[in-house]
Structure 1
Amino acid sequence: MKPTSPSRGRILLSRTAAAIFGGYALTSASVIFLGAVLPLPKSQAILASSLISFAVYTAAIIWVFAVQDNRRAWLGLLLPALVLAPLGWWLGRGMV
């Protein structure tokens, strides 16, 4: 059996970190955004967005291991998170 090369190990480590941390960032941003835009009372919107977050996190993990390169994996998670979180905070300010 051929040992794993260091570059493959780094790729796997990077993708695992992207799945865990990038997926968490995207999931948190989607909860903030959906909690602000769903046309429900605030408590129900937060509950619904929290339930949707399980599907978002699962999709993020699948995404990370399905794409071709690490850069696309990280950018595919962090760019939407960087858009959704501030937009959700901005839209949610009027709901208080």
Structure 2
Amino acid sequence: MPNTTSTPIHGGPRLVGGARIAGRVALATGGGYGIAALVTALLSLTLPLSRPEAVTTATLLSFAVMAGVVVLVFAMRSLLRATVMTAGAAILIGGSLWLVASASAGAGF
């Protein structure tokens, strides 16, 4: 009678679970950094402050944005859903940044 309680040689569920965690870590790191950079650029252009104050404020807020993205990625039910949410946020913020930057370039700022 074969032993059915032994673990598979190739790692099986443990390897798959580790890959899921690694995927979330990669998404949280890369996606969090990307979204934080986009938010920083957008806020630097839109905050009603002097340019140095706007950049400083936007940079300080980017730390909270990065932490929020990391929490969001690990709170999502699946890695696919977290990826879609992160990509969607990046597209929306990037589009907003593009609109603001093109409008400010046309105004001569």
Whether these two folds match at TM > 0.5 is yes
- Structure with higher helix content: 1
Query: Which consecutive aligned stretches of 4+ in structure 1 deviate over 6 angstroms post-superposition?
Result: none
Q: Counterparts of 2:70 and 2:41 in 1: how far apart (Å)?
A: 19
In structure 1, which of residues 63, 88, 94 is the aligned counterpart of residue 72 of structure 2? 63
Q: Which one is further off, 40-49 or 13-22?
A: 40-49
Instruction: Say which SS state the counterpart of residue 49 (structure 2) adopts.
Output: coil
1:40-69 CA distance string (max 9 Å, x none) = 112211111000001001111111111100
In structure 2, which of residues 80, 86, 102 is the aligned counterpart of residue 77 of structure 1? 86
Q: Which runs of 5+ in 2 are unaligned?
A: 1-6
RMSD of equivalent CA atoms: 1.9
Q: May I ask how many residue pairs the two structures share in their alignment?
A: 95
Letter in 2 for 1:58: A
Larger Rg: 2
Which is bigger in relative contact order (C-alpha 8 A, separation at least 6)? 1
Q: Which runs of 5+ in 1 are unaligned?
A: none
